Amino acid sequence: MKKDLMISKLIESRCSIVPESGFVFPRDETAEGGCGVIGMASNVQVPAKHMLESLKQMRNRGNGKGGGIAAVGLIAEEFGISQEMLENDYLLAVAYLDIRIRGKLEESFVAPVFDVHHTQVQPHIPDHTVLDGLEVPPPEVVIYFVRVRPEVMEAFIQENGLEGMSDRRVEDEIVFQNSYKLNTAYYESSGEKKAFVLSHGKNMLVLKMVGYGDDVIRYYQLEETRAHVWIGHHRYPTKGRVWHPGGAHPFIGMNEALVHNGDFANHASISEYLAQRNIYPLFLTDTEVAVQVFDLLHRMYDYPLEYVVEAMAPTTERDFTQLPEVKQEIYKKLQVSHMHCSPDGPWFFLIAQSDTHGEDGSCYRLTGITDTSMLRPQVFAWQENELENGEKVAIGLAASEKQGIDAAMLSLSESDRRFWPRADKYWNARGGSHTDGGAFIFEVRDDRGKAMPTISVFDKFGQAVQIPANTRPYAGHPVTELSSIALPEEALGDLFGWMKFSITNWKYSDLIQFLNSAFKTKSMTGEWDELLNLLTLMMDRRYDTGELRRSSVVSIVDEVFDSTLDAVGRYSPDGYRVLQSGEALPESESDNDAVVIDARGFAAEGENSVAREIVRLSQKGFKRIFVVRARGHRFLGSGLGPDTSGLRIDVYGSAGDYLASGIDGLEVHVHANGQDQLAQIMKAGKLVVHGDVGQTFMYGAKGGEAYILGNAAGRPLINAVGKPRVVINGTCLDYLAESFMAGDPLKGGGFVILNGIAFDEANQIVDLETPYPGGNLFSLASGGAIYVRDPRRVVTEDQLNGGEFAAITAADWALIKPYLEENERLFDVPVRRLLSVGGVEYPPEDVYRKILPAKVRALQAEESWVTADSAVH
């Protein structure tokens, strides 16, 4: 049978489940905006408890009115069944809001359709009220391992003319339709809600309830349950007084579960699109519609993932023109055909998929897709280990916030020595782009016992993410060899310099020996400043670590840093106080006194937050504040008021959103990646980030200096005015300096220097293919300038929308050189290296280009007379 005919027959077979009412224009019953999501995938099965801390730290993204998890690639013994049954049977999980109807439900929707091979009730803690804030009792969950009865298969094939179609496709469809009927009977939005299907894919389980996502794990006692792929979700529904677990995420299609952060405007039109294909969503949320679209495209239409992603998040604008011609042709067709199922608005999907089709075994996927405009935050991460026996163990993660990933990795590394806290790589997807397509896929392949499962990570186009090879991680490798290194006297003056020079020949034992000796020597002499400085430089700087993996080295340094601070807390050396949550504020005796805030016990926001503690300390006169062990604490540096020069804050760990927002004079140094919304409305002072920064960096900023070692995500410097001066060493996703209004840089205005560099495996500086991949650079700007390092002139006119290129003059170079020198001092990115291309140094005007606002093109007739001169008015 031809494929298109089969597809239409399958769709026709759904006529029996079309509701009598036909298409009803959906009216969101529980509209929602955002959510917090995390997903992880590994080729070894990991327990759910490692999502607990992550979800707890992202609780502000939910309101306790909906949470859920999905697990894919489970362990047979944990269910007391055979491996074969786990892989071949459908795992039908039914949520009973009223357990009394169980018999009746089974009689109508289980027994007649399925051969039931195993049944069990999902265990849970006896009393839900012990979980704080959990008001609505979670549903009783019964799990059935089932196969469709042969006679039911036969009848379905005959009835719908599906002869010749693979058994798997038919069986999937019967399971899908049966669940639909069950939901219609027991859970239609309009009717009484008594039971619904949580999930029905093979080797996949979804659980959800009216509460926070982490409480789902606690309530259903999943802490030790292991799976290859996990996703967790908090929901923030804003409407409806009575909530039902059916409205929580994840939502299911057939073999996939989807969680979603965001919402879209064309929910109704997508519902219509689905109705034309005999799919009538039941739960009245846009998330359900999204997963139905995914299922339709992937299972029913059998599109490869690439096409599914293209149909949902189309490649647009300049990115489209950058695609190879053959792709343009296919994508155009996809866009034209599926325009009406492309969610329009801010969204980020995480999809856990159990794809057990293949003859060559099972495949479990975690896919993250962002909308074309990247309106929701998203971070991906990857860590890979090679064990002594040569086996590879790797984990991929994706979340709304980097701190969520950090929390999961920390938790995992504490109980599983094969992992360590820092990932090898963190990155963002560029929505609807020709570079990565705005989607990343972590794929676990299990060839059923032949060998250990494997995992790979690739983007929408199937390009593997480059990960550090040729280096050895520390975790899981017992250090047996003894180190012979000793600290020479002359090294004590410049420990970092000596380490940097020596480490290329080191083994881990040498590194540990070095750190121990440094700690002993410097703590004995009371030179804590120097010790902390050494450790900080070891975290911040990029240097060749020889055969050692950078992420492992830094994880070890993190650990030594933490124990050093514990020692500082114990000995209280002169000039340092360690402040734990709940302790009384110390008094400042001298201007040099430093306070170290151990962030762990503090709240992420509110009166008991680190941010407010900093305000109180500053009022006490402290000028030097360290925040350590940050776990997503937000607003650090905010609330200090005007004119705070002289104060310096150093942040270690995972700093949260809005860091340094509104600062007016102080300095903030972040010794890690930053998150979203950093330095909003910054007025003056200095921000240094030894890593990447997230969305809308320096939105509406008025001034100050900022130095970013890595990349910025979408919309940096948007609507900035005044005189902000910024060095970004990497690149940005898109929309850099849109509506920039920062005067004339040569007369005191603002600018951004974009260096377009990255670091290779040996941590050496390399040039990016392009300093700016996006299609919108300096759009609608009326002031300020971009200085882009683009020696090969790859940035083109069509990326500008209202800007124009200008040559670098001597005055320009004199203006930006001091900032590049400061950049060199902070990050060890030499100016000479920046001016070099292929090892040859060029004059600045050959390397940098300036982008200026084009003459105002009369947005309004009255503006046509505005010229640069009249701006001095």
Partner 1 sequence: MSREPTNHELIVEKHTRNLRDGYHVWSHDKTDVERALGDYRWTGEMILGTYYQAEHGRPPDNGLEYRVGASGGGFDVLDFNWLPEEKWLAETEGVDVSISLNRRGKGREITIPIPIYGGGMSFGSISEQVMLARAIAAKKWSTFFSTGEGGYPSSLVPFKDHIITQVATGMFGVREETIQHAPIVEFKYAQGAKPGLGGHLLGDKATSSVAALRESVPWVSLFSPFPFHSVYSVEDHRKHVDWIKTTNPEALVSVKVSTPTDVDMVAVGSYFAGANIIHLDGSYGGTGAAPEIAKKNIAMPIEFAVPKVHKYLLGENIRDEVVLMASGGIRSADDIAKIVALGADGAVMGTSELVALGCTRCSNCERGRGCPFGLTTTDLLLSEFVSPEWGAERISNLYQSYEFQLKDILRKLGLSSIRELRGRKDLLVYRGNGRK
Q: Among residue numbers 246 through 305, which ones bind partner 1 (CB under 8 A)?
A: 261-263
Q: How far apart are CB 370 and partner 1 at their closest, in Å?
A: 12
The interface with partner 1 within residues 853-872 (CB under 8 A) comprises: 856, 859-860, 862-863, 866, 870-871
The interface with partner 1 within residues 70-129 (CB under 8 A) comprises: none
Q: What is the CA radius of gyration of the chain?
A: 28
Report residue 449 as tokens.
């016992």
Q: How far apart are CB 406 and partner 1 at their closest, in Å?
A: 18
The interface with partner 1 within residues 661-680 (CB under 8 A) comprises: 661-664, 676-677, 680
Q: How far apart are CB 2 and partner 1 at their closest, in Å?
A: 43
Contact flags string 533-552 toward partner 1, x per CB under 8 A: --------------------
Alpha carbon separation from 454 to 306, 354, 466, 470, 541 (Å, rounded): 21, 15, 16, 19, 32
Exposed/middle/buried for residue 661 (C-beta within 10 Å: 0-12, 13-18, 19+): buried
The interface with partner 1 within residues 309-348 (CB under 8 A) comprises: 346
Nearer to partner 1, 112 or 606 (CB): 606
Nearer to partner 1, 662 or 756 (CB): 662
Nearer to partner 1, 606 or 646 (CB): 606
Q: How far apart are CB 720 and partner 1 at their closest, in Å?
A: 9
The interface with partner 1 within residues 766-825 (CB under 8 A) comprises: 780, 782-783
Nearer to partner 1, 453 or 749 (CB): 749
Closest CA to 734 of 701, 700, 772: 772
CA 626 to CA 579: how far, in whole Å?
A: 10
The interface with partner 1 within residues 17-46 (CB under 8 A) comprises: 28, 31-36
Select from 719, 770, 801, 836 the one that contacts partner 1 (CB under 8 A).
719
Select from 47, 62, 632, 803 the one that contacts partner 1 (CB under 8 A).
62
Nearer to partner 1, 264 or 303 (CB): 264
Q: How far apart are CB 715 and partner 1 at their closest, in Å?
A: 5
Residues in contact with 634: Cβ distance below 8 Å, sequence separation at least 6, in sequence order: 60, 604, 605, 609, 611, 656, 657, 658, 659
Residue listed under structure tokens 């020949």 = 505
For 210-253, the DSSP string reads: SS-HHHHHHHTT-TT-EEEEEEEEEEEE-S-SS--GGGSSPEE-
Nearer to partner 1, 130 or 868 (CB): 868
Spell out the SS3 assignment of 432-492.
CCCCCCCEEEEEEEECCCCCCCEEEEEECCCCECCCCCCCECCCCCCCCCCCCCCCCHHHH
Among the candidate windows 196-204, 221-229, 719-727, 755-763, which touches partner 1 by CB under 8 A? 719-727
Residue listed under structure tokens 């998040």 = 313
Among the candidate windows 309-317, 471-479, 579-587, 714-722, which touches partner 1 by CB under 8 A? 714-722
Among the candidate windows 150-158, 349-357, 381-389, 606-614, which touches partner 1 by CB under 8 A? 606-614
Select from 230, 514, 699, 778 the one that contacts partner 1 (CB under 8 A).
699
CA 480 to CA 38: how far, in whole Å?
A: 37
Closest CA to 352 of 463, 485, 461, 254: 254
Select from 430, 434, 683, 690 the one that contacts partner 1 (CB under 8 A).
683
Among the candidate windows 218-226, 303-311, 569-577, 713-721, which touches partner 1 by CB under 8 A? 713-721
Q: How far apart are CB 157 and partner 1 at their closest, in Å?
A: 45
Residue listed under structure tokens 């239609």 = 188
Among the candidate windows 389-397, 494-502, 604-612, 751-759, which touches partner 1 by CB under 8 A? 604-612
Torsion sign across C-alpha atoms 788, 794, 796, 799: negative
Q: Angle 357-359-361 (CA atoms, 0-180°, nearest 5)?
A: 80
Judge whether 79 and 40 are in contact, CB under 8 Å. Answer: no
CA 412 to CA 418: how far, in whole Å?
A: 9
Cis peptide before 642 (omega within 30 of 0): no
Nearer to partner 1, 508 or 735 (CB): 735
Phi-psi label, residue 95: left if phi above 0, alpha if psi -120 to 50, beta otherwise: beta
The torsion of the CA quartet 232, 236, 241, 247, rounded to 10 degrees, works out to -40
For 590-622, the DSSP string reads: STT-EEEEEGGGSBSSSTTBHHHHHHHHHHTT-
Nearer to partner 1, 33 or 497 (CB): 33
Nearer to partner 1, 160 or 370 (CB): 370
Select from 470, 607, 807, 832 the one that contacts partner 1 (CB under 8 A).
607
The type of residue at 333 is: K
Report residue 590 as tokens.
């001298």
Q: How far apart are CB 833 and partner 1 at their closest, in Å?
A: 33
743 binding partner 1? (CB under 8 A): yes
CB atoms within 10 A of CB 158: 10
Nearer to partner 1, 153 or 741 (CB): 741
Nearer to partner 1, 459 or 657 (CB): 657
Nearer to partner 1, 756 or 802 (CB): 802
Select from 48, 165, 409, 640 the one that contacts partner 1 (CB under 8 A).
640
Select from 243, 349, 635, 848 the one that contacts partner 1 (CB under 8 A).
635
The interface with partner 1 within residues 364-403 (CB under 8 A) comprises: 375-376
The interface with partner 1 within residues 190-229 (CB under 8 A) comprises: none
Residue listed under structure tokens 């929707």 = 109
606 binding partner 1? (CB under 8 A): yes
Angle at which helix 3-13 crosses helix 150-160, to 10 degrees, equals: 110
Q: How far apart are CB 723 and partner 1 at their closest, in Å?
A: 8
φ, ψ of residue 327 in degrees (nearest 5): -70, -40
696 binding partner 1? (CB under 8 A): yes
Q: Count the residues of the shown chain that bind partner 1, applying the rule CB under 8 A.
A: 73
Separation of first and last alpha carbons in the chain: 76
Nearer to partner 1, 702 or 849 (CB): 702
Among the candidate windows 3-11, 59-67, 447-455, 542-550, which touches partner 1 by CB under 8 A? 59-67
CA 835 to CA 845: how far, in whole Å?
A: 9
